[in-house]
A and B are shown apart, each in its own frame.
Chain A
């Protein structure tokens, strides 16, 4: 099984400042056949379902503000919010989709305003 970990568990950032979330997988999610990292990021606000932000580790979903960016490869990934806005307060999850027999999510990182 691929285990996903995230750090930190929570962070508080001032408005307009950068927020950085780390996600690590217990094994590589880089698929050789397509040379893509099978890693997605979601945002979940209280009382709402998750919303897809990033897939293939760095491709922004349509309509997602460009202050959200994803990077990394293999086992180490990062979600960056370049300039935190009030509406970005949420829990952020990474997810690997390397194997259809077991997709797994990270435990989540809560982002608040400092």
Chain B
């Protein structure tokens, strides 16, 4: 059974940092691109970042470029999101999501999502 389990969320002050993790199981992690998608309270979905299976390619939304870093450890079947210089508008549930198909870079549609981890940026 494919499972994605996010962790690392919490309350952080503006300007602070957090690192989110997503532990994957039930599939060959290294063969699939992975992404982070967030959802502010009561709002819609916003794509944040994606990384190819090999970690050779990474992509970011303009809203987080230069502040967030996506990475993965294929030996640990784990996806990460390092979030620096956090702002109030980064407050959201952060989901990790698995690409539906195996491609060289990133396919971009997601067949499996974790339950999410809440990040609150507030003083």
- Measured CB to CB, the residues of A under 8 A from B are 38, 40, 42, 44, 49-52, 55, 61, 91, 93, 95, 97, 100-108
Contacts and interface: CB of A to CB of B under 8 A. Distances in A.
A38, A40, A97, A106, most chain B CB atoms within 10 A:
A97
Contacts, number: 57
Given A100-B106, A102-B61, A105-B45, 13 more contacts: A49-B95, A49-B114, A50-B45, A52-B100, A61-B111, A91-B44, A95-B45, A97-B107, A97-B108, A100-B105, A100-B108, A103-B108, A108-B45
Contacts of A103: 35, 47, 50, 108
Contacts of A55: 100, 109
B113 interface: yes
Given A38-B108, A101-B59, A103-B108, A49 B113 contact: yes
26 contacts: A38-B109, A50-B45, A50-B110, A52-B109, A52-B111, A61-B111, A91-B44, A93-B44, A95-B45, A95-B109, A97-B107, A97-B108, A100-B57, A100-B105, A100-B106, A100-B108, A101-B59, A102-B62, A103-B108, A104-B47, A105-B45, A105-B46, A106-B44, A107-B44, A108-B44, A108-B45
A64 to B, nearest CB: 11
Contacts of B105: 100
Interface residues on B, range: 20 to 34
Nearest to B95: A49
Contact of B113 (A50, A93, A97, A108): A50
A58 to B, nearest CB: 13
Nearest to A38: B108
A40 B109 CA distance: 7
